[in-house]
Chain A
Amino acid sequence: MNPGVEAHQLISELIDHVETVVVGKRKVVKLITVALLAGGHVLIEDIPGVGKTVLVRAIAKSIGADFKRIQFTPDLLPSDITGLSIYNQKDACFEFRPGPLMGNIILADEINRTSPKTQSALLEGMAEGHVTVDGVTRALPVLFFVMATQNPVEYEGTYALPEAQLDRFLLKLSIGYPDRRDELSLLNRVPDRNPLNELEPILSLADIMYLRHQVASVYVSDSMKNYLMDLVEATRTHPMITLGVSPRGTIALLRAVQAYAFIEQRDYAIPDDVKAVAPFVLGHRLILKQEAAYDDVDPLTLIQEMINTIKVPVLKKEMVK
């Protein structure tokens, strides 16, 4: 059997699996899978009650890996998530007790409710792949996938994440209200049966590592890379944008495009992949000018606009003579 086909199979199974719990949000599920496969992290920002946590838990439960959940509160300390050394009286030495950050899949719930100090501890781990506790640097597991949720900053009792830290997330998503039909089916569910509890893991840690390897080999042609660059450069010259996409952002976009192409069961990327992921990869990496805020322009529409003005490569150099 073709290993590629098998891999594609695994992914669609995963997505279908999650969809049994979160109805009608296939696109969001796909994007989270993109982050998972591209080795990035996801920030889900939306109003309370649309199913952020359920979605993330469903994905986490579908993967047979060490799942940790951190509920961020204003009084949470960095050591609460990284772990701390405790004096072992029996051995007469300090012994490290790993915190919840030391898992494979981390659900960082309501990340903007905690103090910046704790936020940085999380973000350091996400960026560096290790945490420093009591002067000792400890590596995080190979599969380290953070799915953070947050309420929109306008809500009370929140600490906005600084822009530089937002950059650590590969994607920033929002879920939105479900369709009327989907919401109706939600109402019709048997109340005392939680489908979340019935989820069984279908992907192993090894599977994920294998898929990540596959994703990294998805072919992105030169014309496609130029297309990516066109888009990135457009963000840097746009009159409404103070700060465009950094090279880190460009690399993130490339990874996301590769992962998306793979989810779409291809081993090569096409412009549609870029159009599909670009707003979520680039949106939170832009700093808009004040005028944009006055005009009530949000980054997603700006990126959509740019996508709609950049020429799509449809020719092959070798073929044109």
Chain B
Amino acid sequence: MRTYRWNGLTNALVYFLVGFILWTCAEPVTVLTILNSRSLLIIFILVMMAIFYLRCPSWLCMTACGLMILYGMHYYFFHDEPLLSLDWLISLGTAITSNLGSVLQGKLLASSDLFSAFLFFVLLGLIMFAIRHWLRSGSFVLFVSFAVLSLALIDTFTYFDGNRSMVAVIVAALILLIVHKWQSFSAFIQDKNTIKKSVSWFAASGALIFAILVVALSAPKLDTQWSLPSSYLSSLNLDFLQNGSFFSGSQRIGYDEDDTRLGGSLGMDSTPVFTVSVSGKPGYWRVVHKDNYTGQGWGDSNRFFLPIADTQTFSSTLSLYENQTRTTRQMAILRFTNASPAILPYTGQPEQVSVPDRRLKIEQATGQVLTENERKASIERLTYAEPVFQTARLRQATSEADPEIVRERNLQLPETLPDRVRELGQRLTAGKTNRYDQVKAVVDYLRSSRFRYSTDQIPRPASNQDYVDQFLFETRVGYCDNFSTSMVVLLRSAGIPARWVKGFTSGEYQGQVAEKVNGKTVNLNKYQITNANAHSWGEVYFPGSGWVTFEPTPSFSDPSQFASASSNNDSTASNPNQSTNNQESKKTQQNAPTTKEKPVKQTQQAKDQSVKEKQPNQKKMNVHKAAGVHINWTFIGWTLLVVCLAGALASIFTRKKWLTAFYLRRIQHSELRSWKDFYDVYHVLLRILNLHGLKRSDTETLREFAERVCSIISGNEMFVLTKHYERLIYEYDTNLPPVNQEHIRKLINELTSHLNQQNEYVRKMNKRIAE
């Protein structure tokens, strides 16, 4: 009775420890991905472990697991809708089936967050069932090794710091193994010494754990041997490893379409995205602007595209500047690489955009230009108007002159926005008489030393926390997304229409190149834009001047050109490299070069990114594009290597099975016509026995060995066979009788069947011990 109770208790402890290890391994998900609710994960694991502990039937476990997955999906993606309604279930179903469709079409990487999350939960469920199996068969070593391996991988390849988790897992694993071992041996000890023995067992192993911990924690550690595994990985071009907005935290820098949930840290990535040859001073390369702030990020509006012909001007669909802004006409040629997303960045007010052999479309609400079917372009030719804003005119702008549509769209704020953000916006702009100064006040506030620029260790806002509020009042550390979003929200709070823009900074200067444009050769400035140049900033509407770019992120220079008086407009416009720096922008670092021809490398800008890349995967699949078939040999090589290694490991672990089968085949195929055949067959038999742990030592005679074999596996076939073999090797050759094939074959068959029975028996015993 007492033993039974103890067993129940230790069983509960085992299940708890397994659950704990699983939780420790799954915890990074809450930090690294958008699935940031710890409590949900804990509940998931606890519920499943409890169900497994109670030894519920399989159908119950599966139902519970399915319900937990559904609840998780509702929690993250449909929390607005009531839990018990059918609507969200239907939309979940459609989302999954449509994603499943694209997966079946081979577009593996095109899956949405929802689908990724769904897959994660399903995987977690599958792991739980694997654990259930392990718990029953008692193979904890495998489980523990997987746990340690996964943690090590996460620690190595993500910014998640797994040190504490690793220690916790090891300790839990040791306790687990100790308790499990105790269970298996206490099952055999039924005498009164059980308690005494158990106490000494636990005391000794506890001391051992303590000693291990002390030694491990106090021992000197090597420094990191492999400092940047993630950059190494990206150098391998394994794009799929870094793909996905799903990974919320340290995504690599790059372009990402999804801005609905901002926050978390970023990693650096210097994969080139495109190069540009430009005639003027390059501004920021914009991709998209967004109007709808949700409290967590920038929501997508309805995607409505207008087709545009090559020759058609953009002014009718996208108008950035109004008549009070002076512009100069410039041209640029953008060349995309294989790693580029399917986007067409532009600068200034585009007048003509042309991509050879592609039809273009523009999304009116966001200004995003895409090719038809969102296929990647290789080259983009752009004619654009480069603006020079008149500071005096900007100062004259009044809010009364804002058009209705601008007010409606660009003053939007979510109801959940905390009051202190609103109040801050109003307080910052109070006392300033005109819109320009108000904007400058907000920009200066954000660029002040109150806030620190960093891409590292940026905490994600909690699910009910406002993104801007978290940055302005709690963390005060962030990168361009934080600064630009905060600027827009603060300005809107003060009644100034503003919007959020993302794209790329002007990149790194690469020197002058000669380009042929319309038959003429011109010298253009070449810049390279990498994923690290991804950026976001703010735009403010000034009636009469249009949308003016402001740079709220410290250490980035304002790309806009301002002219303090209309008289010198012409000079600045004609010499774009020598932009005029107004006093207002003195805090921004000067980006304009001292010499006229060579712009300074904008190295400081390489540090930022905000726009996360989501590789438009369909493009990747289209290997049959004009550039020819692109096969990633490195990737194939690595995959082959990994597969080979895994295969080698698997074959080593399963050698008992397949080698036995192989040897048995050899025996079956042997004709057994001569003594020589029998000699070979006997040696193969010795090898089979060796595989099963029966090895003859060199000093052991065959007979002694055969007796040992027969005492372990029932039957005396080995003994009889050995007698034949002895006769073969010790008898005078001419005295040997002919081989009795049937007799020997029968003996071998019986021996192998006995061997199998023995293995079966051992397996059963092990299972019983485990249970």
Known: A311-B699, A312-B698, A312-B700. A221 touches B676 (CB 8 A): no
Q: Which of A308, A311, A319 has its CB near the most chain B CB atoms (within 10 A)?
A: A319
A159 contacts the other chain (CB 8 A): no
A309 touches B699 (CB 8 A): yes
Bound form: Cα–Cα A307–B702 in Å: 14
Q: Is B735 an interface residue (CB 8 A)?
A: yes
Which of B3-11, B46-54, B726-734 participates in binding chain A? Answer: B726-734
**Residue of B with least CB distance to A218:** B732
Q: What residue in chain B is nearest A261 (Cβ atoms)?
A: B730
- Contact across chains for A312 and B731 when beta carbons are under 8 A apart: no
Is B753 in the interface zone, CB < 8 Å from A? no
Q: Which of A270, A275, A309 has the most CB of B within 10 A?
A: A270
Within 8 Å CB of B701, what residues of A?
270-272, 275, 312, 314
| B703 CB–A CB distance under 8 Å | yes
Residues from chain B with a CB closer than 8 A to the CB of A313 are: 729
From B701, B727, B733, name the one whose CB has the most chain A CB atoms within 10 angstroms: B701
Interface SS, B side: helix
Interface size range on A against B: 20 to 34
B699 adjacent to A221 (CB under 8 Å): no
How many whole Å from B728's CB to the nearest CB in chain A? 7
Q: Using CB atoms, name the residue of chain B closest to A267.
A: B735
CB of B679 closer than 8 Å to a CB of A: yes
Give A280-321 interface residues, CB cut-off 8 Å to B: 307-316, 318-319
Q: How far is the CB of B220 from chain A (nearest CB, A)?
A: 44
* Complex Cα spacing A319 to B730, Å: 12
Contact assessment for A268 and B702 in the assembled complex, using a CB-CB cutoff below 8 Å? no
B696 / chain A contacts, CB cutoff of 8 Å: 314
- A19 to B731 alpha-carbon distance, docked (Å): 31
- B675 nearest in chain A by CB position: A319
B730 touches A224 (CB 8 A): yes
Query: Out of A270, A275, A314, A319, which one reaches B676, CB within 8 Å?
Result: A319
Distance (Å) between the CB of A226 and the closest chain B CB? 12
Q: Are A270 and B703 in contact (CB under 8 A)?
A: yes
Q: Collect the chain B residues with CB atoms within 8 Å of residue A73's CB.
A: none
B704: Cβ under 8 A from any A Cβ: yes
Contact A221/B729 with A319-B676, A319-B679 known, Cβ cut-off 8 Å: yes
Known: A219-B735, A272-B704. A307 touches B728 (CB 8 A): no
> Known contacts A268-B727, A316-B679, A319-B679; is A310 also within 8 Å of B699 by CB?
yes
Q: Min CB distance, B17 to chain A, in Å?
A: 46
B interface size (C-beta, 8 A): 21
Give chain A residues whose Cβ lies under 8 Å from the Cβ of B680: 319
Interface residue ranges of A217-249 to B (CB < 8 Å)? 219, 221, 223-224
In the bound complex, residues from chain A placing their C-beta under 8 Å from that of B703 are: 270, 272
CA distance A293 to B733 in the complex (A): 46
**Given the complex of chains A and B, what is the CA–CA distance between A275 and B731 in angstroms?**
18
Are B729 and A314 in contact, CB atoms less than 8 angstroms apart?
yes
Chain B residue numbers with a CB within 8 Å of A275 are 701
Residue of A nearest to B729 (CB): A316
User: Bound complex: CA of A115 vs CA of B696, how far in Å?
Assistant: 51
A269 in contact (CB, < 8 A)? yes
Question: Which of B699, B727, B728, B732 is within 8 Å of A312, CB to CB?
Answer: B699
Once bound together, how far apart are the Cα atoms of A270 and B700, in whole Å? 12
- Chain A nearest CB from B179 CB (Å) reads 41
Closest Cβ neighbor of A316 among chain B residues: B729
Nearest B-chain residue to A312, judged by Cβ: B701
The reply to whether B728 and A316 contact each other, CB–CB distance below 8 Å, is yes
Interface readout for B675-691 with A: 1 if CB under 8 Å, 0 if not? 11001100000000000
- A315 vs B676: C-alpha distance when bound (angstroms): 12
**Nearest chain-A residue to B699 (Cβ)?**
A308
Q: Which B residues touch A272, using CB under 8 A?
A: 701, 703-704
Check B731 against A219 for contact (C-beta < 8 Å).
yes
Is there contact, CB below 8 Å, between B699 and A315? no
Chain B contacts for A223, CB-based, 8 A? 729-730
Chain A, Cβ-Cβ closest to B731 = A268
A-side residues, CB < 8 A to B, are 219, 221, 223-224, 267-272, 275, 307-316, 318-319
Pairs of residues from A and B, 9 with the lowest C-beta to C-beta distance, nearest first: A219-B732, A268-B731, A271-B701, A316-B729, A319-B679, A311-B698, A272-B703, A268-B730, A272-B701
Additional 7 contacts, C-beta under 8 A, given A272-B704, A318-B733: A219-B735, A221-B731, A270-B730, A272-B703, A308-B699, A314-B701, A319-B680
Name 19 A/B residue pairs within 8 A (Cβ), A-sorted: A219-B730, A219-B732, A219-B735, A221-B731, A223-B729, A223-B730, A267-B735, A268-B727, A268-B735, A269-B730, A271-B702, A275-B701, A310-B699, A311-B698, A312-B698, A312-B702, A316-B729, A319-B676, A319-B679
